[in-house]
Structure 1
């Protein structure tokens, strides 16, 4: 099934069930008013939402209305936890190679993760408001999951059973603030503003065999200022699965229902062409493009985002239809 949260003037919005083709929706009032409520009692509430979803798809829902992504908040507008990984080791290799730094061996066996702000997410069509262009504004196209409860000490296989919903993320980064923050040895903070998520979150069964081994085997499309810059495959080159990422979190603590876990920037390896490396699938963040330019040409030539720039992040199924809806945002200065 597919779920979204409509703006209603409150912090947590109103849960709606969305049709498979994203053409219509129905308020989940009477079943669960908020997505967190459904996650807290998933075994009881999910089957009722599924019944409504099936009725909606069959055209039997009397109070359906046209679905409008512009009215959406993030599917989970605020969460108990937002933990973002860096599961695509190719991304790490490129960024470190650009500054002539080796990748530690442990990075291939132990995932990188950071704890982001989870109190103020952006809706899929909300502006990305940044105080200053000089901060180095970058988009990051990612896959994310929302979990149920996962016990401390769970194996990756057990952790994977805790995945309730899949969605897309734009994990905005302020690249020029990152070096000084990381130099403190305490991780990201000001360099990671509010993250945006796709209009709808979907249960894994909705993508069929594209969900394998805790990886989404679909193409993440990134379009910057109307030009498609990334067609990256999310599945094959994901070094750490979502089961492994969640197990990493719960090594020493429980993971509670309503936690969001991100994959990190979706990234694919380049191929050698005429003596040079080429990246035919493009990129899912500008920092990676700049890293490629630095490796090849000695310096980056692509600038970071400016006020007025737009970014669109989307995944389409084999039928050409959008799966999660699109993240469509504009970079804006504070009003």
Structure 2
């Protein structure tokens, strides 16, 4: 069933991905368009992805939410870096964000968005927002030696993994090095979600005692997923493609002399990263001109590092806010106005 709410959200996605002419359509027309028309107009989808969009339009809404979840986490993790998860977009329209070069930053984007889709799909299943899945009730309900039993609504991570792989991996070819790299990093992102599932329990017993517990699996906090992938980014491995025939193509670790494939837990990249100091269309770098920096920081946002030695501008302004608030009976809150002179630094 194609709901009105799903139709409106699909229309929102459509407006982002089609040409400027799209805004000439009235929102009231969207329900009449139907999923076939909308899915055909979303740019950047591959044929198999369009088929999924037509058959299960609600899932595309959830996939889009998963991509946004991944990119928000990416921006959080890299907010103090020269590369802060922004880039010059490719000329060709893309449904999934992707860097022009096969760098370690590209590896992180692929992994975190793949993880975001897996997380969002699994969460939507548990909430009953998708018609093809719900809770995972396949677990054994027998009481374990520890005195608890499976029950409740466990997150169906297996469905989330399979659906994410089906949709996300459809946008990558296996006949080139970057495609193989992206497929590998997509899987790393999914595995981090699956390997960090948590268990929640509820006690049962007389007068609040906990003689037995009913337990179910829940998704990890997505911040935890982002943290783990950030550590993998910092220790990612450079690879290269070997094999000319389609069936024999694979990526191997570049630093080794043996034909050794990277582990499934490693993020991998092919090309060295640029400095991200300057705007560069080819590498996708937006540069750091105009970026805020911290003059007293010991991290990557320190002005000398962030501004790549170009110097920085100092802006002074007065900041005001409500302070010393007190509750006055009855029923009011009275506050003083506080102010201070503040400095802000931006890269030249």
The structure that has the greater radius of gyration is 2
* Higher normalized helix content (fraction of residues): 2
Q: TM-score, normalised by structure 1?
A: 0.29
* Higher normalized strand content (fraction of residues): 1
Highest RCO, 1 vs 2 (Cα 8 Å, sep ≥ 6): 1
